[in-house]
């Protein structure tokens, strides 16, 4: 389970985030490319844009549920 205290600094403020358990598998970037990007230097994903509509919200949730190491978190807040 993702830990908000271990989230990467690149994550934009909001409820979804990626923490340091990320293994750079690309699943979240494939599932929700409008919301996740890769840090090429660090070799991990991060949330660069919080979902702005129900479709993006659903894709972010799908990415979170599909993450093989549970590195994607949702703290339930908006900021």
Q: What is the pLDDT of residues 8-67, one digit of tens each?
A: 999 999 999 999 999 999 999 999 999 999 999 999 999 999 999 999 999 999 999 999
* Nearest Cα residue to 44 out of 70, 15, 71, 68: 71
CB-based contacts of 7: which residues, under 8 Å, 6+ apart?
A: 17, 18, 19, 20, 73
Mean pLDDT of 61-74: 98
Domains delineated in the chain? 4-74 (3.30.70.20)
Report whether 36 contacts 18 (CB < 8 A): yes
Compute CA distances 43 → 51, 58, 77, whole Å. 23, 25, 27
């Amino acid at each position: 389970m993702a830990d908000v205290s271990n989230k990467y600094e690149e994550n934009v403020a909001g409820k979804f985030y990626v923490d340091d358990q990320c293994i750079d598998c690309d699943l979240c970037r494939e599932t929700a490319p409008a919301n996740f990007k890769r840090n090429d230097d660090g070799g991990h994903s991060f949330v660069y844009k919080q979902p702005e509509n129900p479709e993006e919200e659903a894709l972010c949730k799908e990415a979170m549920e599909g993450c093989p190491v549970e590195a994607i978190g949702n703290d339930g807040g908006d900021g």
